[in-house]
Amino acid sequence: MNSERIFLSPPHMSGNEMKYIQEAFDTNWIAPLGINVDKFEEEICEYVGVNHALALSSGTAGIHLALKYYGVGPEDYVFCSDLTFAGSCNPIMYQYANPVFIDSEPNTWNMSPLALEKAFEWAKNVNKMPKAVIIVDLYGQSADYDQLLPICKKYGVPVIEDAAEALGATYKGKKCGTFGDISIFSFNGNKIITTSGGGMVVSNDEDAIKKMRFWATQSRENAKHYEHKEVGYNYRMSNICAGIGRAQLQNINKFIDSRKYLFEQYTAKFTGLPLASMPINKSGSPNYWLSVFTIDKLNEYTPLNIIECLEAKNIESRPLWKPMHMQELFSDYPFFSHNDVEIVGENLFKLGVCLPSGSSMNESQQNTIIKIIKELFDSF
């Protein structure tokens, strides 16, 4: 057994993190806000190509605030990508609204334009037009916005881009996070860059960011004493966490290159095995957050065979996200599939496996993983 566990996507500190943390200590700006927070917001704006940003305690908090900004409340409907992490849609429940789940399409595994159109036609007929559509950029690859945005526009519904996994990915020359009316990123420990925990909302809508900033700091009215007229949240990022994020952001291109190299190595060395890599859409460049593979459905073995075999060697891997419409929590809500014969997300969940993809993983560790998987397939 490997003594040192290989994780799926562990944090990768790069050097300057302590410098910014030290600055925060030296100036005693430990909390709550401070210069690192302001700078981190500016630096994300610059990197992504948006005008305004708001640093938060999580990406989930960002989605919650965006839903609130679009007036989502009890009885309302919100469309959301089906193949995703629950952080995308839990905030719909915080507002006591109803999620409607939209299947994936096979080319990018992101929201299917066909299913989205079907959902809008249903909503129109039953008078349940959504207040917002949450579109996820899955596993660091952009959704097909040239297909999706015109549909949302036609129905006049704002888009919240959940780019939690996709900082640094592009679509037709523009960065993920520029496609939503409001977009969010996550800096959770397993993401492409981390602040230990945190998130950011970005938008060109200055009013939206202002309003969300107000709610995120307990809705404190402008007065010497604490005056409140609206419900607020304690959702801001600390100055220490933002310091980590600033140093991480300086290294994002290196992180993307490393993850891309891992993805290409897996793909090349799995030649001849019944494994296919996640399809890469030529209209963009992913950040290769996770290396995801699907097993050829003609075979009898399942992703679990790979996962258990790697686990026995102290190596972490995982199935794909279990689609939201398959979750007990969300089983009563509407769902629209890509077509009538198959549910794309269900197939992907059945056949897919996420392999270790950390930017700090070395070549010999990856070769060990590849060797274990090759031996497994040889044994069938």
Ligand X SMILES: *Cc1c(COP(=O)(O)O)cnc(C)c1O
Footprint on this chain of ligand X (rule: CB under 6 A): 58-60, 84-85, 87-88, 136, 162, 164-165, 186, 188, 199
Give bridge partners of residue 294 from the DSSP assignment.
276, 352
Shortest spacing between CB 90 and ligand X, in angstroms = 9
**Residue that the structure tokens 């520029």 belong to:** 178
**By C-beta, is 170 or 365 nearer to ligand X?**
170
In the complex, the smallest distance separating the C-beta of residue 268 from ligand X, rounded to whole angstroms, is 27
Q: Minimal distance in Å, beta carbon 60 to ligand X?
A: 3
3-class secondary structure, 135: strand
Output the six-digit token pair for 40.
């981190």
Q: Rounded to an integer, what is the distance from CA 291 to the centroid of its chain?
A: 14
Measure the CA–CA gap between 87 and 59, rounded to whole angstroms: 8
Closest CA to 207 of 181, 241, 225: 181
Per DSSP, what are the bridge partners of residue 183? 161, 202
Residues 6+ apart with CB under 8 A from 356: 6, 7, 8, 9, 291, 315, 316, 317, 365, 366, 369
From 286, 278, 283, 281, select the one nearest 255 (Cα to Cα). Answer: 286
**Which secondary-structure segment (H or E) carries 47?**
helix 35-48
Kindly tell me which of 169 and 275 has the beta carbon lying closer to ligand X: 169
Cβ–Cβ under 8 Å, residues 10 and 196: no
Of the pair 60, 108, the CB lying nearest ligand X is at 60
CB of 247 to ligand X, least distance (A): 18
Rank residues 270 and 356 by Cβ distance to ligand X and give the closer one: 356
In terms of CB distance, is 87 or 99 closer to ligand X?
Answer: 87
Q: What is the 8-class DSSP label of residue 52?
A: E
Which pair of tokens denotes residue 1? 């057994």
Q: Of 100 and 160, which CB lies nearer to ligand X in the complex structure?
A: 160
SS3 154: helix
Least spacing, CB of residue 62 vs ligand X, in Å? 8
Q: Which is nearer to ligand X, 197 or 274 (CB)?
A: 197
The CB-of-345 to ligand X minimum distance in angstroms stands at: 13
State how far Cα 16 lies from the chain centre: 25
Q: Which of 118, 115, 108, 72 is nearest to 91 (CA)?
A: 72
The least distance separating ligand X from the CB of residue 160, rounded to whole angstroms, comes to 11
Nearer to ligand X, 90 or 368 (CB): 90
Q: What angle do CA 14, 63, 182 make, to 5 degrees?
A: 90
CB of 355 to ligand X, least distance (A): 17
Residue 164 or 343 with smaller CB distance to ligand X: 164
Nearest approach in angstroms of CB 260 to ligand X is 19
Tally of CB atoms within 10 A around 374: 14
CA–CA dist 122, 334 (Å, integer): 10
